[in-house]
Structure 1
Amino acid sequence: MKNIQFPWHIYWYVGHDGDVSEIVSRRSSRNAKLAKIPLGIAGRAAVGFGRKLAGGDKKEINAELNQRAAEQLFAVLGELKGGAMKFGQALSVMEAAVPEEFGEHYREALTKLQAAAPPMPAAAVHRQLDQQLGTGWRQRFKHFDDEPTASASIGQVHKAEWSDGRIVAVKVQYPGADEALRADLKTLNRMAGMLGTLIPGADVKPVLAEISERTEEELDYRIEGGHQRQFAKAFDGHARFLVPKVVASAPKVIVTEWLDNATPISKIINQGNADPAGTVELRNRVAGLMGEFHFSSPAIAGLLHADPHPGNFMMLEDGRLAVIDYGACAPLPKGFPPILGEMVALAVEERFDELTELMHTNGWVIPGKQVSHQEIQDYLRPFTDPIKTETFHFTRRWMQRVAGKATDISSAEMKTARALQLPAEHVMIFRVLGGSIGICAQLDAELPFMKLVQDWVPGYLENRRAS
């Protein structure tokens, strides 16, 4: 895995509501569809420019262009599923950082496919089950619902009753998803520069690089099943978390226990938008549980759940947080690397000379580049708000401010960023950190961020000089 350069910018994603019969698997066909995005948006921009010259209202024209651009992004990438939609899901959690001037149109596009996507027909599902579970697969179920209950980037979920009476979720990978995913990632990587211009300041390259590295692992549901079994065993009987047990797994089909009366976090985010005052306690609880799950998992399970978006987290009626989808996991058998705790401790106490030396000697500075401790201090300033107090209130406004500072290409901080890199062994950790913070901002929630660091990140307390 290659090192990825700083910073982590505004992430975005799109999807599609309509029905499609099959994944478009031919690379030329998929490339043609992806090409619709820049061409269509460029055409609308030209029309908008003409209307401005003709005296049209600038705000109304910009709003209309934003809405239509969002609709096209949503339609094209959602229809393609595969890597195009996988890309979208990985970026969706940073919706809170989208500048307000892009309005609700992008916000709606950025949240639609966290739990829904175009279904594949029952005949294709049955063929996949024949190949993965054997032609006698129906005998393993008392009932199988052909209508999917949810779908995602490379597979969709069906509700069924297992032979022993358990209600189960059956995730079936789309036929051709593997070829489509690989083709999309190659195309999207080539289009990274153009895609970044669709929203000012966006830098999609780090996310695309990471998804490309994890592609093969996530395509094999047996690997996902192994991760989920490890998590389920480690958290079995936990008072605050539920990991559904795996019933059966094959390369392209995984069967797990069904979750009843589970409220998706995306719904709680919407409830918070509609009733901020009345949902404060619930939103804070959700954020606190998500934070605890991510921070504690390496120590408890030896793994880090590395696919943070609202569709993978649900609140149960008994107050526990249920977590699904273990295709992307980072192995951390010894817990978080102590260097992370040491870096946070040095930043908290503003010992930037020591922090800079630590970054130079541990691969956080690109070989041959030099940065001073003042440059590191100035660069980190926008990101350090959560570590200055025991609790922190994550908001969209804060996310937008941080993202704006991080993507100002004319700033001195951006010059510093070009000298920094994220060591490969920390890529998944920072993906989870960034994703979790993005969800907390969508929840508009306050949580004991530093208490989680103290409890679960080794190297932090050991390197604090102050009590």
Structure 2
Amino acid sequence: MARVPRNSVSRTARLATLPIGYGARQTIGLGKRVGGASAEAVTAQIQEQTAAQIFKVLGTLKGGAMKVGQSMSVFEAALPEELVGPYRTALTKLQDAAPAMPVKLVHKQLTEQLGSRWRSYLRDFDDTPVAAASIGQVHRAVWKDGRPVAVKIQYPGAGEALLSDIAQLSRVMRLTTSWVPGLELRPLLEEIRERMREELDYTLEATMQRQFAAAYADDEWYAVPNVLADTPGVIVSEWIEGIPLSRIIAEGTNEQRDLAASLYLEFLVAAPGRAGLLHADPHPGNFRLLPDGRLGVLDFGAVNRLPEGMPAAMGHLLTAAVDADADELLAGLRAEGFVRESIDVAPEAVLDYLSVFVEPLQDNAFQFNREWLRSVFNRINDPRSPNFSVGIKLNLPPAYLLIHRAWLGGIAVLCQINGVAPVREIINDYLPGSDLPPV
């Protein structure tokens, strides 16, 4: 991988190769079918080549373009199998196996960030990255005291690329959401830009990681690696060995799936009350199941600071939805800014819209799976359904942006894991304001 393309023109040109390339492959495929090749074989070949191009283009662009690819890899669980199946492997690779920086550029970054003697305290540095994602890549090394470490290095140009993509995203969102009456877009876009800038600050990320590590030190069920050194472009952390969630999603046993689902959900819900922070980047590449049964948590670039824990209003809203108290639910949504004052919507319509989201809370345990998530997306995204008109009347308050990202992404990952979790118990125990009676 060469340097990350930074300006909007070159990045847009790279993205344009996706539909152009797909069209060219379809034309060639038509010729092959005319020549006698089976439609199934030609379609499979086109899908394989398209998946490879998606991985190459988004992986090379890094920044916001690759973050979109990572989101696609999480939310593929909501799409029909015949549509997403051929692309699942390529999208999953974007979580931690994207095209990497050349070795020469890696060494240059380490010299600029850690000084010319970086090898004196990073012994046995492995030039081949173990993970490469949207903003940086990770290498394995040995710290000067003999501990194995993970060295996270930011791509040069990643900041400009990410902010360029966010600027383009803002323009697109202004055009495509102008017809959505419930959405207040300007403060939301400002919040997105500010959170993306924070993800580029490795010094801030190291501070967040230290806070998580202190909160979960010597924990029976969770492992957060300690930070040993950091600069604006490099973080050196303890190495933790485990099975990535992506592998459990692909080939895990039922026991592994249930354990991973339960620990993953509990961490997302309980961490704000314990650490004062919400991990807001829940894709599978950031979690490992360790040999001792603990869940290892990585990558703290996207973190929501919640010193008082999760808002108690969330627990109140979930309880009202489970209790089918439509008036209380709508009043709470208005108080938090999810329904703006100018929006007219019936309480019963809002309750019906949200009822599918609280299905996992109707019993003591719930198995998240792709079929359930697809049914949710189909129900709320069908323009012919009354639920669609309710959905466009809802707002996303900026204060809830990262909470929404973490919970929505977390639910999608849980559906990929396909495990059984005590959802009602976890919500009741760890979400402030929740008061769900025994089933």
TM-score normalised by the chain length of structure 1: 0.85
1:393 to 367, 377, 387: 367
Residue 87 (structure 1) aligned with residue 61 (structure 2) = no
Residue 268 (structure 1) aligned with residue 248 (structure 2) = yes
1:261-319 per-residue CA deviation (whole Å, 9 max, x = no partner) reads x11111111114xxxxxx11111001101111111111110001111011110011111
Match of 1:407 in 2: 381
Q: Is the Cα–Cα contact under 8 Å of residues 277 and 306 in structure 2 kept in the other structure?
A: yes
**Where in structure 1 are there 5+ consecutive unaligned residues?**
1-19, 197-205, 273-278
For structure 1, which segment, 115-124 or 59-68, has the greater mean C-alpha deviation from structure 2 after superposition? 59-68
Q: Distance in 1 between matches of 2:37 and 2:122?
A: 61
Match of 1:224 in 2: 205
Residue 169 (structure 1) aligned with residue 143 (structure 2) = no
Q: How many residues align?
A: 431
Q: Distance in 2 between matches of 1:374 and 1:43?
A: 49
2:334 to 351, 357, 360: 360
In structure 1, the residue corresponding to 2:383 is in which secondary structure? coil
Match of 2:184 in 1: none
Match of 2:91 in 1: 110
2:4 to 16, 23, 32: 23
Q: 2:421 is matched by which residue type in structure 1?
A: L
In structure 1, the residue corresponding to 2:289 is in which secondary structure? strand
Return the offset for 1:365. 0.9
Cα RMSD over matched residues? 3.0
In structure 1, the residue corresponding to 2:94 is in which secondary structure? helix
Q: 2:303 is matched by which residue type in structure 1?
A: C
Residue 344 (structure 1) aligned with residue 325 (structure 2) = no
Q: 1:126 is matched by which residue type in structure 2?
A: H
1:32 to 3, 13, 17: 13
Aligned runs of 1:225-264 on 2, under 5 Å?
225-260=206-241, 262-264=242-244
Return the offset for 1:29. 1.9
2:419 to 426, 437, 445: 445
Aligned runs of 1:257-406 on 2, under 5 Å?
257-260=238-241, 262-272=242-252, 279-406=253-380
Q: Distance in 1 between matches of 2:418 and 2:299?
A: 24
1:45-101 per-residue CA deviation (whole Å, 9 max, x = no partner) reads 677799999999877776665555434322211121222112222342222112122
For structure 1, which segment, 236-245 or 380-389, has the greater mean C-alpha deviation from structure 2 after superposition? 380-389
Q: Distance in 2 between matches of 1:264 and 1:134?
A: 32
1:119-149 per-residue CA deviation (whole Å, 9 max, x = no partner) reads 1122111111121112222222233222222
Q: Is the Cα–Cα contact under 8 Å of residues 228 and 236 in structure 2 kept in the other structure?
A: yes
Q: 1:232 is matched by which residue type in structure 2?
A: A
Q: Distance in 2 between matches of 1:284 and 1:457?
A: 21
Q: Is the Cα–Cα contact under 8 Å of residues 188 and 397 in structure 2 kept in the other structure?
A: no
In structure 2, the residue corresponding to 1:421 is in which secondary structure? coil
Return closer, same or farther for 1:466/1:307 CA change in 2, 3 Å cut-off.
closer
Return the offset for 1:389. 1.0
Q: Distance in 2 between matches of 1:401 and 1:310?
A: 22
For structure 1, which segment, 150-159 or 222-231, has the greater mean C-alpha deviation from structure 2 after superposition? 150-159
Return closer, same or farther for 1:105/1:327 CA change in 2, 3 Å cut-off.
same
Q: Distance in 2 between matches of 1:440 and 1:412?
A: 27
Return closer, same or farther for 1:54/1:157 CA change in 2, 3 Å cut-off.
closer
**Where in structure 2 are there 5+ consecutive unaligned residues?**
178-186
Q: Is the Cα–Cα contact under 8 Å of residues 201 and 233 in structure 2 kept in the other structure?
A: yes
Q: 1:460 is matched by which residue type in structure 2?
A: S
In structure 2, the residue corresponding to 1:95 is in which secondary structure? helix
In structure 2, the residue corresponding to 1:72 is in which secondary structure? helix
In structure 1, the residue corresponding to 2:124 is in which secondary structure? strand
Q: Distance in 1 between matches of 2:438 and 2:216?
A: 34
In structure 2, the residue corresponding to 1:148 is in which secondary structure? coil
Q: Distance in 2 between matches of 1:103 and 1:235?
A: 37
Match of 2:123 in 1: 142
Q: Distance in 1 between matches of 2:38 and 2:188?
A: 37
Q: Distance in 1 between matches of 2:286 and 2:438?
A: 38
Q: 1:102 is matched by which residue type in structure 2?
A: L
TM-score normalised by the chain length of structure 2: 0.90
Match of 1:16 in 2: none
Return the offset for 1:466. 8.1
Return the offset for 1:381. 2.8
Return the offset for 1:211. 5.2
Q: 2:366 is matched by which residue type in structure 1?
A: F
Match of 2:432 in 1: 458
1:404-454 per-residue CA deviation (whole Å, 9 max, x = no partner) reads 112112221111111111211112112111122111111111101111110
Return closer, same or farther for 1:289/1:217 CA change in 2, 3 Å cut-off.
same
Residue 119 (structure 1) aligned with residue 100 (structure 2) = yes
Q: Is the Cα–Cα contact under 8 Å of residues 375 and 413 in structure 1 kept in the other structure?
A: yes
For structure 1, which segment, 91-100 or 295-304, has the greater mean C-alpha deviation from structure 2 after superposition? 91-100
Q: Is the Cα–Cα contact under 8 Å of residues 94 and 438 in structure 1 kept in the other structure?
A: yes
1:348-387 per-residue CA deviation (whole Å, 9 max, x = no partner) reads 1101121112222331113411111121122113322112
In structure 2, the residue corresponding to 1:114 is in which secondary structure? coil
1:297-343 per-residue CA deviation (whole Å, 9 max, x = no partner) reads 11110001111011110011111111000001011111111111001
